[in-house]
């Protein structure tokens, strides 16, 4: 089915817009979780009208120098949660654990199941699941920069907890063992492939190809790692389907989907052209955002929605973004998608100064 889809998707440019920010009616409260490895505060967004029924849960991990509140504001994820009814948890790294508030994804003690920071993030996830009705097959983890690297760790060591993972401007699991190797990987990409300790967890990656903080080569490293985990032994090479597009007045982008001949999609890679180290499609002047890119928040949620746990084998190359379309109707989104015509991607406009790319 995927092979049949490639010809169609290559002739279609997906239409992506930035997240629309609204006045929120849900709750955004602060909590504290304590486990064997320590204590972490976290914020939880509960959408209005979300009580009493099982909702998906997205765990969002901030980058360095950010906190839960600034990351939530920058990404606009709570806006999407309110519109599409899911919970969002934001674990927070204190300066006592890292002076720059970075998650310690590069330290061996924080790359293990039931140890260090992964145990605390997993503990927060389970606490939210215990306190609120959560759809157990729709629990996801995502992050930016150091938070993206830690999201990759969480997917690697807790594949039974998270159904899919989103990594924005991050690095693959296990490519660093200390601060020096972490900086080397960030600047040049992984020096060697690192195998995930578990099977493949569906992955969506966003990365700017002008990122001078975390090299764009790390996006390829993330994809290589997940494809290796998803194609063991003599399995055939994954099939790729590539589309391109451009945000009106903003950046051009390329999306590549990776899957098998049976129609499964294991990963997506979004390259945002001429974008630096910032959350694509984030709010103007937000903490490390590039509002001129396609909405990473909307695309993460669309990908997650298509990848509940246990259904990987039945998935196909995805259509337009669920969260990118301001119209909530699935029918309207489908009609708009089918009406798009063959478009040749043109070069992006010059980078606008003061866009808040961080």
Tens digit of pLDDT for each residue in 223-234?
Answer: 999 888 876 555
Asked if residue 348 is part of any domain, the answer here is: no
Distance, in Å, from the CA atom of 72 to the CA atom of 50, rounded to the nearest integer, reads 19
Q: Is pLDDT larger for residue 199 or for residue 171?
A: 171
pLDDT of 347 above 90: no
- Structural contact between residues 245 and 14, judged by C-beta atoms closer than 8 angstroms: yes
User: Which residues are 58's β-sheet partners?
Assistant: 88, 140
Here the CATH number for the domain that contains residue 318 is 3.40.50.1820
pLDDT value for 236: 60
Condensed to tens digits (0 to 9), the pLDDT of residues 22-40 reads 456 699 999 999 999 999 9
Dig out the tokens for 337 from the structure.
């998608």
**Res 312: pLDDT:** 53
pLDDT tens-digit map of 124-176: 999 999 999 999 999 999 999 999 999 999 999 999 999 999 999 999 999 99
Q: Is residue 242 one of the residues assigned to a domain?
A: yes
Picking from 64-78, 307-321, 332-346, which range would have the lowest pLDDT averaged per residue? Answer: 332-346
pLDDT at 235: 58
| Domain assignment present for 356 | no
Between 54 and 237, the higher pLDDT residue: 54
pLDDT of 51 strictly over 90: no
Range in 102-111, 150-159, 348-357 the model is least confident about:
348-357
DSSP state of 44: E
Q: What pLDDT is attached to residue 284?
A: 93
The pLDDT of residue 346 is 30
- Model pLDDT, residue 194: 72
Is 215 within the bounds of a domain? yes
Question: Residue 262: its pLDDT value, please?
Answer: 63
What band does 316 get if pLDDT is binned at 50, 70 and 90?
Answer: very low
Is the C-alpha dihedral spanning 209, 210, 211, 216 positive or negative?
positive
For 329-350, what is the mean pLDDT? Answer: 31
For 159-238, where are the E strands, in sequence order? 164-168, 203-208
- 233-243: average pLDDT: 74
| Residue 344: inside a domain | no
pTM: 0.81
Q: Give mean pLDDT, residues 233-260.
A: 87
Q: Give per-residue burial for 194-206: e unless 16+ CB within 10 Å, then b.
A: bebeeebbbbbbb
Half-sphere exposure of 26 (CA within 13 A, CB side): 24
User: Do the domain assignments include residue 68?
Assistant: yes
Catalytically active residues, by annotation: 145
Please report whether residue 353 resides in a domain: no
Query: Pick the residue with more confidence: 14 or 213?
Result: 213
Q: Is the residue at 346 inside a domain?
A: no
Report the percentage of the chain scoring pLDDT > 90: 68
φ/ψ of residue 145, rounded to 5: 60, -120
CB 86 within 8 A of CB 129: no
Domain count across the chain: 1
Average pLDDT, the chain: 82
Is a pLDDT exceeding 70 seen at residue 93?
A: yes
Domain of residue 194, residue span: 2-339
What confidence score (pLDDT) does residue 358 get?
31
- pLDDT value of residue 261: 58
Q: What would the mean pLDDT of 220-225 be, rounded to a whole number?
A: 94
CA angle centred on 317, ends 313 and 318, rounded to 5° = 110
């Amino acid at each position: 089915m995927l092979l049949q889809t490639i010809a169609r998707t290559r002739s279609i440019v997906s239409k992506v817009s930035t997240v629309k920010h609204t006045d929120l009616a849900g709750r955004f409260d602060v909590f504290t979780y304590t486990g064997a490895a320590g204590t972490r505060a976290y914020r939880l967004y509960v959408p209005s009208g979300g009580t009493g029924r099982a909702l998906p849960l997205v765990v969002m991990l901030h980058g360095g120098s950010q906190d839960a509140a600034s990351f939530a504001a920058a990404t606009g994820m709570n806006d999407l949660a309110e519109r599409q009814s899911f919970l969002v948890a934001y674990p927070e790294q204190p300066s006592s654990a890292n002076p720059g508030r970075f998650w310690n994804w590069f330290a061996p003690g924080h790359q293990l199941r039931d140890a260090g920071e992964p145990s605390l993030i997993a503990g927060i996830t389970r606490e939210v699941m215990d306190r609120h009705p959560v759809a157990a097959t729709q629990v996801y983890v995502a992050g930016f920069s150091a938070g993206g690297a830690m999201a990759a760790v969480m997917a690697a060591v807790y594949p039974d907890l998270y159904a899919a993972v989103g990594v924005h401007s991050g690095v693959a699991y296990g490519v660093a063992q200390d601060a020096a190797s972490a900086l080397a990987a960030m600047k040049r990409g992984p020096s060697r492939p690192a195998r995930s300790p578990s099977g493949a967890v569906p992955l969506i990656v966003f990365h700017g190809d002008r990122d001078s903080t975390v090299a764009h080569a790390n996006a390829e490293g993330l994809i290589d790692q997940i494809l290796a985990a998803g194609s063991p032994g003599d399995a055939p090479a994954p099939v790729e389907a590539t589309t391109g597009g451009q945000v009106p007045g903003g950046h051009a982008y390329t999306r590549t989907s990776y899957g098998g001949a049976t129609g499964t999609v294991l990963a997506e890679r979004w390259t945002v052209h001429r974008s630096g180290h910032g959350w694509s499609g984030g709010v103007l002047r937000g903490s490390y955002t590039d509002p001129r890119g396609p909405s990473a928040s909307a695309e993460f949620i669309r990908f997650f929605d298509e990848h509940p746990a246990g259904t990987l084998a039945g998935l196909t190359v995805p259509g337009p973004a669920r969260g990118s379309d301001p119209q909530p109707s699935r029918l309207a989104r489908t009609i708009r998608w089918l009406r798009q015509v063959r478009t040749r991607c043109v070069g992006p406009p010059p980078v606008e100064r003061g866009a808040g790319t961080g």
